[in-house]
Amino acid sequence: MSEEELFKKWQGNVCCLKRAHFDAANFFGSCNGWLGGALIFFSASASAMAYLENKLHWVDGWLSAIVPVLGLITTLLAGLQTYFRFSERSERHRSAGTYFAKLEMELQALLVPAVSAKDDLNANLADIKSRWVRTTIGAPLIPKFLHRRHCGHLEHECC
């Protein structure tokens, strides 16, 4: 395999990882939005029901059992949001996707004949390989379904 073929193969792999990380960032961002929205809704509902029950005495009978249930759901959602840290995970994937995008652009620049003729391709190959490894080690894990969607077919062209 020539160096140019290797660069093209690496560029495809890096592109797949970049897309998978950006997709994971969007996925975890959506999870954070939906869970946060549900938390706000149930928290406001519990507060409103408690107010109606205590101050205005509009809630009687079986409706008074809704307040503790809403409080329990609110607590559960807040615990899930804290445990899964969707916002933090989204930002980590977005950051990893940015690093892979930078690597992809550098690989594209090395494929330009004017640039690659000036530089020593072996030195560039070793430099990009070491940065790719460092980026991969520091990157969060991509969920399986997203990895299969973007990188499960690396023998085919991804980008």
Q: What is the DSSP string of 61-78?
A: GGGGGHHHHHHHHHHHHH
Show the domain range for 44. Answer: 3-151
Cα 124 from Cα 116, distance rounded (Å): 9
pLDDT of residue 140: 94
Decide if 46 is inside a domain: yes
Q: Which of 126, 105, 112 lies closest to 18 in space, CA to CA?
A: 105
As a whole number, mean pLDDT of residues 72-80 equals 95
Q: Is residue 157 part of a domain?
A: no
**pTM above the 0.75 mark?**
yes
Q: Is the pLDDT of residue 113 over 80?
A: no
Residue 45 domain-assigned (yes or no)? yes
Contact 28, 90 (CB under 8 A): yes
In a domain, 55, yes or no: yes
Closest CA to 65 of 75, 57, 53, 56: 53
pLDDT of residue 36: 96
* Long-range CB contacts (within 8 A, 24+) of 108-116: 108/11, 110/7, 111/4, 111/7, 111/8, 111/11, 116/4
Residue 159 lies in a domain: no
> Are the C-beta atoms of residues 131 and 107 closer than 8 Å to each other?
no
Query: What is the structure's pLDDT at 29?
Result: 97
Structural domain count, the chain: 1
